[in-house]
Amino acid sequence: MRSFLLFMPLLALSLVAISPAAAQEVESVFDSANQDFADGNYEQAALKYESLVEKGLLSPDLFYNLGTTYFRLEEPGKSMLALRRAQILDPMLPEARQNIEVLRNQLGFLEFSDSTLDRFLRLLPRNIGGTLGAALVWGALIAITAGFVLPRAVPYRSGLITLAIVLFLCFVVVWRADAYKRSSLAPESFSIVVADNVKALTSPTPGARSVIDLPAGSEVRLVQISGPWRYIDIPGALRGWVRAEQVEPVWPVPDTR
């Protein structure tokens, strides 16, 4: 029972940049959903939480409670998806981290493991690549221009050219690291297996050979879309096909309005 005690809803909702009237309506629905949860009406609670998401309310508290509710509904894939979204909005939310750990132990789902470089890149600000890259390019251009235009800099031309080359090489490294972060580490790159008993297949046909079983809550990356099928990267250097309804992007949250 100890693990289940972690899956309790948060009773307060943080609202930012919303009118007082809208805030009152949101809080009313949120409180009503919390009461449904307390009464064991988990389906009604989930519908009310989802209605707030559909209105564009993206709150870590809301997604945490939605993940908690789906856990009680025995839908671990949807629970993990909501908890991941809560964690994106508030990486320090302890309840989300604790409950993800509970699901990790219970489900044994697949996850991509971060290298030391991955962990370092995740710590960098989201737009640091573009800012630093632009500074390096401008530095290289200034060094080259000074070496050929400024009379006082002519004696140092070879050194300035070397500096420009070094700055340009640094720009290439930063550009590649930024591209890798955007394609492989950004929340938009990941999807969660939300269905049960999912198998990744060798081809987009129902009778294809299975590559690997994907427990609910597993983390994958989208590679290709082919009609109702999705070709995905799977932890462990594997790839396979799954049905579109079996996975859902972690971010951005689909606009259902």
Query: Same domain, yes or no, for 15 and 101?
Result: yes
Q: Is residue 254 in a domain?
A: no
Query: Same domain, yes or no, for 103 and 52?
Result: yes
The pTM of this model reads 0.76
Tell whether the model's pLDDT for residue 3 goes beyond 50: no
Q: In the block, which residue shows the tokens 């294809």?
A: 208
Domain boundary among 82, 107, 132: 107
Q: What's the CATH number where 92 sits?
A: 1.25.40.10
What single string gives the DSSP state of each residue in 148-215? HH-GGGGGGHHHHHHHHHHHHHHHHHHHHHHHHIIIIISGGGEEEE-SSSEEEESSSSTTSPEEEEE-
Q: Which domain holds residue 27?
A: 2-107
Q: What's the CATH number where 197 sits?
A: 2.30.30.40
Query: Could you read off the pLDDT of 63-114 as tens digits, one per residue?
Result: 999 999 999 999 999 999 999 999 988 888 888 999 999 899 888 899 888 7
Tell whether the model's pLDDT for residue 129 goes beyond 60: yes
In percent, the amount of the chain with pLDDT more than 90 equals 50
> Average pLDDT for residues 132-146, to the nearest whole number?
90
Query: Same domain, yes or no, for 100 and 87?
Result: yes
Tell whether the model's pLDDT for residue 131 goes beyond 50: yes
Q: Is residue 129 in a domain?
A: yes
Query: Same domain, yes or no, for 102 and 18?
Result: yes
Q: Are 239 and 231 in contact (CB under 8 A)?
A: yes
Q: With bands split at pLDDT 50, 70 and 90, how would you rate the model's confidence at 12?
A: low
Tell whether the model's pLDDT for residue 128 goes beyond 80: no
Q: Is residue 222 in a domain?
A: yes
pLDDT averaged over every residue in the chain: 86
> For the chain, how many structural domains are there in total?
3
Reference 59, options 89, 37, 20, 83; nearest CA is 89
In percent, the amount of the chain with pLDDT more than 70 equals 89
Which of 82-96, 188-202, 217-231, 243-257 is the least confident region? 243-257
Domain boundary among 76, 107, 138: 107
